[in-house]
Structure 1
Amino acid sequence: MTHGELMALPVSFSLEVANRALDLGRTTGFALAKRGAYPVRVLRLGRQYRVTRYDLLRYLGLDPNGCAGEGEGVPEAA
Structure 2
Amino acid sequence: MPSYTTTARRGLTREELLKLPASAPLEIGNKAFGIGRTTGYALVKRGEYPCKVLRLGNAYRVITADLLRVLGVEPDTEA
Instruction: Sort the TM-score into its range (normalised by shorter chain).
Output: 0.7 to 0.9
Aligned to 2:44: 33
* Residue segments in structure 2 that go unaligned for 5+ positions in a row: 1-11
Equivalent residue in structure 1 for 2:30, among 19, 34, 38: 19
1:67 equivalenced with 2:73 (yes/no): no
Aligned to 1:5: 16
Q: Which 4+ runs in 1 deviate beyond 3 A?
A: none
Identity of aligned residues (%): 53
**Residue identity opposite 1:24 in structure 2:** I
TM-score by length of 2: 0.78
Equivalent pairs, count: 68
TM-score by length of 1: 0.79
Q: What is the distance in 2 between the residues matched to 1:37 and 1:8?
A: 25
